[in-house]
Amino acid sequence: MELIILAIYGIVAGILAGIFGIGGGIIIVPSMMFFGFDIKNAIGISVMQMIFSSVYGSFLNIRAKLLDIRIAIFVGLGGLCGAAFSGYVVDFFKPLYLEIAFMLICLYSLYKALKTKTTQNLSTPKENPKLFLFIIGFITGIFAISLGIGGGLLIVPAVSYALGISTKQVVPISLFFVIFSSFSGFISLALHNYVNYKEGLIVGAFSLIGVFFGTKINKKISPKAHKIAVIILYIIILCIMIKNIIQTNLL
């Protein structure tokens, strides 16, 4: 039964990664907490899974010529540097503080998604601000991986807003970023003994199935529908986290 449950969560996380350019942690972290893992171990499982989904998803996007490396590389390198500090952040803060930070990130991302204008047609990115993209990646890498999320929650609305392109166009960039941030974060978290390898391997392996279908869905969905789906996703995750915080800390 445990294998089936982990497989289902892996597939769902993979689908979300392919559609939204996220690591899948927004579903893995609260789900693992629901099944008895504390948030720090849930983060470790989530980050391990991200390596699988982000590498395969980026491969599919490169093959389909959807990934702009000129933009993605600077965001990715920033994430690689920032995520190296994730183990220290998880080690330092109490679980409740990490849970609250998770919620705040969701709220910020929801605000950015609502603020970003969306057209039905794909648009040309503004001038590539290399340093700014690196800083976005660096900051996201520190805090996102420390919360067990790949960074898409921040990267998608932030890069979309900065470059004036739709959230749909940012998805391949975001998923490419997750490769760097998850790999660096995995090493940092493993050194601090926050990785459950068995669960992480199972969830990660099955996430490959979800990524395959998620990237196909992302190709077909319109920019407007994608933005609406992103907003709904943030609201659902906020509700799940509020429920988890109440159950874990107040009851």
How many whole angstroms separate alpha carbon 14 and alpha carbon 141? 20
Residue 135 has pLDDT above 70, yes or no: yes
Residue 9: name the closest of 227, 242, 240 by CA.
240
How many beta carbons lie within 10 A of that of residue 70, not counting itself? 11
Residue 120 has pLDDT above 50, yes or no: no
- Mean pLDDT, rounded, of the chain: 80
Q: How confident is the model at residue 4 (pLDDT cuts 50, 70, 90)?
A: confident
Of residues 170 and 122, which shows the higher confidence score? Answer: 170
How many whole angstroms separate alpha carbon 48 and alpha carbon 58? 16
pTM: 0.74
Residue with tokens 């609305």: 157
Q: If you average pLDDT over residues 42-58, what whole number do you get?
A: 88
How many whole angstroms separate alpha carbon 235 and alpha carbon 126? 29
Domain boundaries, the chain: 2-250
Tokens at 37, concatenated: 């893992």
**Cα 5 from chain centre:** 21
Angle ∠(167,171,174) on CA atoms, nearest 5: 115
Q: If you average pLDDT over residues 33-47, what whole number do you get?
A: 82
243's CB contacts (< 8 A; 6+ apart) are: none
pLDDT tens string 69-79 = 888 888 889 88
| Amino acid (one-letter) located at 67 | L
Tokens at 85, concatenated: 């500090």
pLDDT tens string 144-193 = 777 777 677 777 777 777 777 777 778 888 888 888 888 888 888 888 88
Model pLDDT, residue 123: 55
Model pLDDT, residue 142: 81
Model pLDDT, residue 202: 92
| Amino acid (one-letter) located at 180 | F
Q: How confident is the model at residue 201 (pLDDT cuts 50, 70, 90)?
A: very high
